[in-house]
């Protein structure tokens, strides 16, 4: 392509919100342009890169036996109501009515749509398993879009959905998709961790994110020193070491405690360690249930783990007023004597301490020597604790906290959708109707593109890996147009992708543009090099240049 034909020029100007490197360079080099916040044009250079990423994914998915198809963008809202996702997705879902009054969701993910399609056919066990996928524009009504293509409101996603007779058959596909994703991300030169994760509103019992480590990433995860365990913060498990369980249980005791209502106040007042305190946090969920989460004083509640254990979509902190209406007191909440109907959820760390201390459900009053089972009985016990940097993984290794960018996600869905949607069944060998066992698998193409830039750049611009580069070669003519034209035509004839800077302009400007755009090879045609019948060849990723005879260019670049 001739650069003179590219109306989208490079620019030095950036706006103050362009903090991510990928945002800055993709904008400056002319790959993308914002329409309004979170919605982007893919300019001619940008669509070439995204198409290449798409092609790589398509080939790998086909090789894994998945079958391409496509659903409409507008999903009848009735389908989302069937699975109750209109509630669980909440504000992120965009809805639109047509002139006949029918309501639609703008597709975010397409579980309901593919199930609605599949149930139109009367399938039997013989038709299973299969995995269908699509590339289509997805919509998320994010409150704040940021980071350029890293968090957008509209984007191209590859989403795949697999259908199985049972969990065992699904496991094969889950493993195959994990391997496929690893190959895809290797191929586009992204070093990713596959980490245990939380499924959010997708549902299902377990899932894995593919995450590239990055300080600007919004995925917080923990990795054990030996890298054998990696998990997203909302599922990360860690050892809760025994504290004092060999102590004798002492008699419970109510004491006046003139203090503030922070944890530290309690520690200072009673001169007891933080870990011996019980931390009480009161929540209200979307069904108006009241939940008292309790945990060892040196730990924090992870709200995502809590939601999962109590099966809620949304929770919020109770107000002081609500706490008092329960007959308790902010800062002095206690599971002991808590009003009936409040669901007490205890972190299993409370099994590591004895003779704990904490509030007494009345102002300026604490209890000492609280013991689980004897003094209070949780409704639910389990892991609701937040991991933190330096805590110990179950394999005994230290956990390190990291940030990363999520580029792919594979989900076990199990029967999560098929049991909610009527007729999402197949006929098994025994003649009985059984629900599909399912999985789903997503890659955001736009974010993948941005993440490649986050991984491959220097301070001058992007350094595209050849597999996804807009062009292999950036050919620059310094006023030797005829020779450059000839080289350009030669390259095109030999199917070498080339961006030809045939514009007027200084060498400095042209070199700066080439560095910014980031094609893997730069060829410069100038009077100096032509004296030796040569052009100057430089790899974007290296500093050194070499002279290449004109008649050797094609051979060299094709090797």
Contact between 506 and a copy of itself by CB under 8 A: the answer reads no
Contact between 6 and a copy of itself by CB under 8 A: the answer reads yes
Residue 434 CB burial class (10 angstroms; 0-12, 13-18, ≥19): middle
Q: Distance from CA of residue 347 to its chain's centroid?
A: 27
Rounded distance between C-alpha atoms, residue 475 and residue 229, angstroms: 46
Contact between 442 and a copy of itself by CB under 8 A: the answer reads no
Nearer to a copy of itself, 116 or 303 (CB): 116
C-beta of 42: minimal distance to a copy of itself in Å?
5
C-beta of 473: minimal distance to a copy of itself in Å?
18
- 18, 20, 22, 46: residue in contact with a copy of itself (rule CB under 8 A): 46
Contact between 117 and a copy of itself by CB under 8 A: the answer reads yes
Rounded distance between C-alpha atoms, residue 177 and residue 157, angstroms: 16
Rounded distance between C-alpha atoms, residue 326 and residue 39, angstroms: 46
C-beta of 112: minimal distance to a copy of itself in Å?
11
Rounded distance between C-alpha atoms, residue 94 and residue 81, angstroms: 14
Nearer to a copy of itself, 209 or 446 (CB): 446
Neighbouring residues of 307: CB distance < 8 A, sequence distance ≥ 6: 285, 313, 314, 315
Q: Which stretch binds a copy of itself (CB under 8 A): 119-127, 277-285, 414-422, 493-501?
A: 119-127
**Pairing of the two strands 380-382 and 343-347:** parallel
C-beta of 171: minimal distance to a copy of itself in Å?
19
C-beta of 363: minimal distance to a copy of itself in Å?
40
- 12, 16, 99, 215: residue in contact with a copy of itself (rule CB under 8 A): 99
- 25, 42, 488, 500: residue in contact with a copy of itself (rule CB under 8 A): 42
How many C-beta atoms surround the C-beta of residue 120 within 10 A?
9
Contact between 76 and a copy of itself by CB under 8 A: the answer reads yes
Q: Measured between alpha carbons, how far is residue 356 from residues 51, 292, 359, 462 in Å?
A: 60, 17, 10, 56
C-beta of 316: minimal distance to a copy of itself in Å?
18
Contact between 216 and a copy of itself by CB under 8 A: the answer reads no
The strand pairing partners of 535, in sequence order, are: 548
Rounded distance between C-alpha atoms, residue 259 and residue 69, angstroms: 64
Contact between 118 and a copy of itself by CB under 8 A: the answer reads yes
Contact between 4 and a copy of itself by CB under 8 A: the answer reads yes
Structure tokens that stand for 504 in this block: 């007027």
Q: Is 285 helix (H, G, I), strand (E, B) or coil?
A: strand
Contact between 271 and a copy of itself by CB under 8 A: the answer reads no
Number of residues forming the site for a copy of itself (CB under 8 A):
58
C-beta of 66: minimal distance to a copy of itself in Å?
10
Q: Which stretch binds a copy of itself (CB under 8 A): 98-106, 253-261, 288-296, 524-532?
A: 98-106
DSSP secondary structure letters along 316-361: EEPPHHHHHHTT--TT---STTPPTTPEEEEEGGGGG-SSEEEE-S
Nearer to a copy of itself, 152 or 318 (CB): 152
Q: Which stretch binds a copy of itself (CB under 8 A): 64-72, 283-291, 340-348, 532-540?
A: 64-72
Q: Measured between alpha carbons, how far is residue 164 from residues 104, 248, 316 in Å?
A: 28, 53, 37
- 14, 17, 19, 35: residue in contact with a copy of itself (rule CB under 8 A): 35
Nearest CA to 47 out of 156, 194, 169, 185 is that of: 156
How many C-beta atoms surround the C-beta of residue 240 within 10 A?
22
Contact between 422 and a copy of itself by CB under 8 A: the answer reads no
* Positions that interact with a copy of itself (CB under 8 A): 1, 4-9, 33, 35-36, 39-44, 46-48, 65, 67-76, 91, 94-96, 98-100, 102, 106, 113, 116-118, 120-121, 123, 126-127, 130, 132, 136-137, 139, 141, 143, 153-154, 163
């Amino acid at each position: 392509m001739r650069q003179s034909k590219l109306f989208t020029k490079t620019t030095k100007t950036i706006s103050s919100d362009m903090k991510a490197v990928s945002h800055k360079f993709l904008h400056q080099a002319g790959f993308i342009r914002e329409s309004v916040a979170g919605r982007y044009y893919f300019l001619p250079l940008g669509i070439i890169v995204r198409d290449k990423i798409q092609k790589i994914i398509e080939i790998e998915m086909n090789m894994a036996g998945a079958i391409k198809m496509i659903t409409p963008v507008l999903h009848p809202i009735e389908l989302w109501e069937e699975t109750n996702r209109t509630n669980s997705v909440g504000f992120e879902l965009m809805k639109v009515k047509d002139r006949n009054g029918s309501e639609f969701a703008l597709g975010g993910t397409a579980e309901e749509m593919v199930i609605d399609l599949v149930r139109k056919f009367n399938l039997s066990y013989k038709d299973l398993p299969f995995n269908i996928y699509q590339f289509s524009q997805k919509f998320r009504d994010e409150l704040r879009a940021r980071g350029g293509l890293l968090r957008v409101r509209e984007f191209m996603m590859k989403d795949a959905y697999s259908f199985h007779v049972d969990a065992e058959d699904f496991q094969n596909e889950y493993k195959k998709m994990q391997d496929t994703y690893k190959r895809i991300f290797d191929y586009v030169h992204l070093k990713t961790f596959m980490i245990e994760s939380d499924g959010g509103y997708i549902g299902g019992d377990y899932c894995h994110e593919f995450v590239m480590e990055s300080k600007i990433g919004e995925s917080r995860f923990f990795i054990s020193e030996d890298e054998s365990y990696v998990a997203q913060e909302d599922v990360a498990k860690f050892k809760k070491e025994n504290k004092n369980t060999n102590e004798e249980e002492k008699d419970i005791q109510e004491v006046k405690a003139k203090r503030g209502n922070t944890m530290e106040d309690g520690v200072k007042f009673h001169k007891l360690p933080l870990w011996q305190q019980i931390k009480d946090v009161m929540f209200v969920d979307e069904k108006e249930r009241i939940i008292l989460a309790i945990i060892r004083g040196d730990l924090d509640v992870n709200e995502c783990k809590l939601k999962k254990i109590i099966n809620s979509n949304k929770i919020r902190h109770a107000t002081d007023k609500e706490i008092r209406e329960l007959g308790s007191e902010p800062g002095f909440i206690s599971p002991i004597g808590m009003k009936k109907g409040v669901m007490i959820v205890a972190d299993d760390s409370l099994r590591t301490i004895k003779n704990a201390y904490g509030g007494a459900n009345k102002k300026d009053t604490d209890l000492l020597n609280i013991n689980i089972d004897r003094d209070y009985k949780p409704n639910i016990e389990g892991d609701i604790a937040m991991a933190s940097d330096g805590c110990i993984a179950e394999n005994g290794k230290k956990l390190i906290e990291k940030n990363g960018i999520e580029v792919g996600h594979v989900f076990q869905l199990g029967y999560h959708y098929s049991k909610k949607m009527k007729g999402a069944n197949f006929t098994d060998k025994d003649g009985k109707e059984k629900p599909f066992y399912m999985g789903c698998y997503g890659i955001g193409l736009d974010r993948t593109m941005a993440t490649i830039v986050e991984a491959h750049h220097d301070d001058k611009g992007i350094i595209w890996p050849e597999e996804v580069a807009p062009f292999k070669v950036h050919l620059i003519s310094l006023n030797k147009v005829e020779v450059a034209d000839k080289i350009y035509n030669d390259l095109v004839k030999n199917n070498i992708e080339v961006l030809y800077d045939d514009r007027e302009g200084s060498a400095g400007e042209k070199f700066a543009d080439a560095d910014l755009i980031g094609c893997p090879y730069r060829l410069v045609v100038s009077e100096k090099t032509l004296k030796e019948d040569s052009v100057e060849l430089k790899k974007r990723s290296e500093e050194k240049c070499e002279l290449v005879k004109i008649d050797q260019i094609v051979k060299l670049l094709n090797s």
